[in-house]
Amino acid sequence: MPSYQAPIRDLRFVYHELLDADRTLSVLPGFEETSPELVDAILEEGAKLFEQVIHPLNQSGDMQGCSFQSGEVTTPEGFRDAYRAYTEGGWCSLAADPELGGQGLPETISFMLEEMLTSANVSFSLYPGLTRGAISAINLHADDALKARYLPKMVEGVWSGTMCLTESQAGSDLGLVRTRATPRADGSYSITGTKIFITGGEQDLTQNIIHLVLARLPDAPPGVRGISLFLVPKFLPDDNNEPAHRNGVSCGSIEQKMGIKASSTCVINFDNAQGFLVGPENRGLACMFTMMNAERLAIGIQGLGLGEIAYQNAVAYARERLQGRAASGSTAVEPNADPLLVHPDIRRMLLTARAYNEGARAVAVWTATNIDLSHRHPDAARRSEAEDMVALITPVIKACFSDLGYETATHCQQVLGGHGYIREWGMEQFVRDARIAQIYEGTNGVQALDLVRRKLFIHGGRLPSRFFQLLADYAAQQRENQPLQPYLTPFIEALELLRELTEWVVQQGTADPDQLGAAATDYLRIFALTTFAWMWVRMIAVSLDKLDQGEGDAGFYRTKIQTGRFFLGRLLPQVQGLNLAVRSGSALLMEMREADF
């Protein structure tokens, strides 16, 4: 059976030492009491719950799955008790507004806990995860009456939330949505239509389920400009705000899936269900993007979480499994084979997993600090800069982290050989669970298009310009740091390549839109690898300084430096080949006739 231990030491390193988040966040209004001791205590207590209560349900939940009968969904055995422990411990309300019953802590802490929860049990994580996104959208766009009625119980976790976008004919192209919204005399709306792929659309964990639904008003213009957003509860609350009357909402079926089997993925039917407008008419997609962007970041973290647990179990196996002799000669007399860790190719796969996981963790926590800065910094210019960083990096995190999560899981499965293919060892579940992250909440191809078609161009190219300048400023600051130069040089070269390629992509894409689509996926990977390189150089710099000062755990810092060397020397060079692929242009993709496929 697989095991999990939360990477608290590395999370502390990133938060306290790499990003100095204690200083950055404690000066923000409302975060003055977020001490280092408080952060560490929250991480430790969260780890206990995730390791001891929620993770033991991961494999059994996958085997049992959700069941569906007469419109009702039953989650796997143990999920209801675990969810009760999660909500009663206040874990779903950490970063929520205190006025709504939340604890008002930084999003950065919530991000770190999200990684641990997705490692422990990704199916379980999806139930509270969607609710957090729904809370954000309602809080930002709904009127005061809706917020007062629905948000406190969603923050408490006794009511949950969903995101209802997809229809059978409308996947990534939401302009094809057909669900109808008809005005009622009392100011509410009748919602009629069917949504598919609704995570947590029906379950037995919460008293009520609050659906956020995209639908069209009778006089709505065509396409995405004619979509409105509605809050549609499963149960309509009474005067005491308790679930009272069943709304016209029902679950038609649940999907039989490749992975995340303990998460209910539902077909939800709306039959003249009473709904309430959220935000302006025909501006629903813009309002829903508040939730969509939050979920895209969460799905990126999901890839990281699965990569981490896959790595931990692959390392444990490689230490114990005896197979073959070391090529350089074994010094052991007995037994007659060496551990897998002596073999270079095993180390290649494990180091690849570790380097990607630790790089992603640093980027994720840095992004979370920018979310907090964008919400609370007293300087409007600083808020704007942080908001730009989050907007730019969101498609990169969603696409790259989920790609790497799947790649890492398959590498780690390969380390186990035949046992990696057997259910008992758990690794095949990680591979299956990781695959969906590349697909839902906007496929990774869509994320890449968002980066090259939108984020590179909006505000006159301000977003990438600000980001590249941030990285260039760091490189300039470290020019005199002699011990860092062997690591700084490949990062600078990658940054220069990315800046030049960005100019080329923008120029070519302006003349030929197909060039953007052809470049998108490979360009995003280059962008991500360069961002990882920036974080790895920073982590190496901190580790070198700690070793020089004789502070902390020397073994931890030496390992950090060695992992960073591997990333910069073995993984970062991918940018060279990807650069050539991008510059090969769109003709290689578009010149073949459709009939020849």
Domain boundary among 282, 305, 332: 282
Q: Do 276 and 296 reside in the same domain of the chain? A: no
CB neighbour list of residue 90: distance below 8 Å, 6 or more residues apart: 103
Q: Do 324 and 198 reside in the same domain of the chain? A: no
Structure tokens at 257: 């899936």
Per DSSP, the three-state class of 261 is coil
Q: State the amino acid at position 539 in one-letter form.
A: M
H or E stretch at 210: strand 208-215
Q: State the amino acid at position 584 in one-letter form.
A: S
* Sequence-separated contacts (24+) of 380-389 with Cβ below 8 Å: 385/466, 388/459, 388/462, 388/463, 388/466, 388/467, 389/463, 389/466, 389/467, 389/470
- Decide if 143 is inside a domain: no
Q: Do 397 and 365 reside in the same domain of the chain? A: yes
- Decide if 595 is inside a domain: no
Contact yes or no for 243/228 (Cβ under 8 A): no
Q: Do 175 and 307 reside in the same domain of the chain? A: no
CB neighbour list of residue 515: distance below 8 Å, 6 or more residues apart: 505, 508, 509, 585, 586
Domain residue limits at 87: 8-138
- Decide if 201 is inside a domain: yes
Q: What per-residue confidence (pLDDT) applies to 331?
A: 63
Q: What per-residue confidence (pLDDT) applies to 401?
A: 98
Instruction: Give residue-wise pLDDT tens across range 145-196.
Output: 999 999 999 999 999 999 999 999 877 877 788 999 999 999 999 999 999 9
Point out the catalytic residue in the list 441, 551, 591, 594: 441
**What gap in Å lies between CA 197 and CA 165, rounded to an integer?**
9
* Catalytic site includes residue 441: yes
Q: Do 270 and 315 reside in the same domain of the chain? A: no
H or E stretch at 160: strand 159-164
- First CA to last CA distance, the chain: 44
- Decide if 278 is inside a domain: yes
Q: Do 256 and 349 reside in the same domain of the chain? A: no
Q: What is the number of structural domains in the chain?
A: 3
Q: CA-based angle 6:11:14, to the nearest 5? A: 165
Q: What per-residue confidence (pLDDT) applies to 172?
A: 80
**Residue 524: closest CA among 561, 579, 462, 585:** 579
Q: Do 109 and 180 reside in the same domain of the chain? A: no
- Decide if 253 is inside a domain: yes
- Decide if 298 is inside a domain: yes
Question: In which residue are the tokens 């790259």 written?
Answer: 400
The phi and psi torsions of 175 (rounded to 5 degrees) equal -65, -15
Domain boundary among 256, 282, 308: 282
Q: Do 449 and 561 reside in the same domain of the chain? A: yes
Q: Do 275 and 354 reside in the same domain of the chain? A: no
Q: What per-residue confidence (pLDDT) applies to 104?
A: 95
Which residues are paired to 191 by β-bridges?
A: 181, 273
* Cis bond before residue 335 (omega within 30° of 0): yes
Exposure string (b/e) for 183-196, b if CB count within 10 Å is 16 or more? Answer: eeeeebbbbbbbbb
- Decide if 596 is inside a domain: no
Domain of residue 121, CATH code: 1.10.540.10
Instruction: Give residue-wise pLDDT tens across range 328-338.
Output: 887 666 678 88
Q: What per-residue confidence (pLDDT) applies to 332?
A: 67
Q: Do 271 and 397 reside in the same domain of the chain? A: no
Q: What is the pTM of this model?
A: 0.97
| pLDDT tens track, the chain, 597 positions | 899 999 999 999 999 999 999 999 999 999 999 999 999 999 999 999 999 999 999 999 999 999 999 999 999 999 999 999 999 999 999 999 999 999 999 999 999 999 999 999 999 999 999 999 999 999 999 999 999 999 999 999 999 999 999 999 877 877 788 999 999 999 999 999 999 999 999 999 999 999 999 999 999 999 889 999 999 999 999 999 999 999 999 999 999 999 999 999 999 999 999 999 999 999 999 998 889 999 999 999 999 999 999 999 999 999 999 888 888 887 666 678 889 999 999 999 999 999 999 999 999 999 999 999 999 999 999 999 999 999 999 999 999 999 999 999 999 999 999 999 999 999 999 999 999 999 999 999 999 999 999 999 999 999 999 999 999 999 999 999 999 999 999 999 999 999 999 999 999 999 998 999 999 999 999 999 999 999 999 999 999 999 999 988 999 999 999 999 999 999 999 999 999 999 999 999 999 999 999
Q: Do 421 and 555 reside in the same domain of the chain? A: yes
Pairing mode, if any, of strands 235-237 and 228-233?
unpaired
Q: What per-residue confidence (pLDDT) applies to 333?
A: 66
Q: What per-residue confidence (pLDDT) applies to 477?
A: 97
**What gap in Å lies between CA 576 and CA 498, rounded to an integer?**
10
Domain of residue 388, CATH code: 1.20.140.10
Question: In which residue are the tokens 């073959």 written?
Answer: 324
- Decide if 548 is inside a domain: yes
Instruction: Give residue-wise pLDDT tens across range 274-324.
Output: 999 999 999 999 998 889 999 999 999 999 999 999 999 999 999 999 888
Q: Do 350 and 496 reside in the same domain of the chain? A: yes
Domain boundary among 250, 282, 314: 282
Domain of residue 167, CATH code: 2.40.110.20
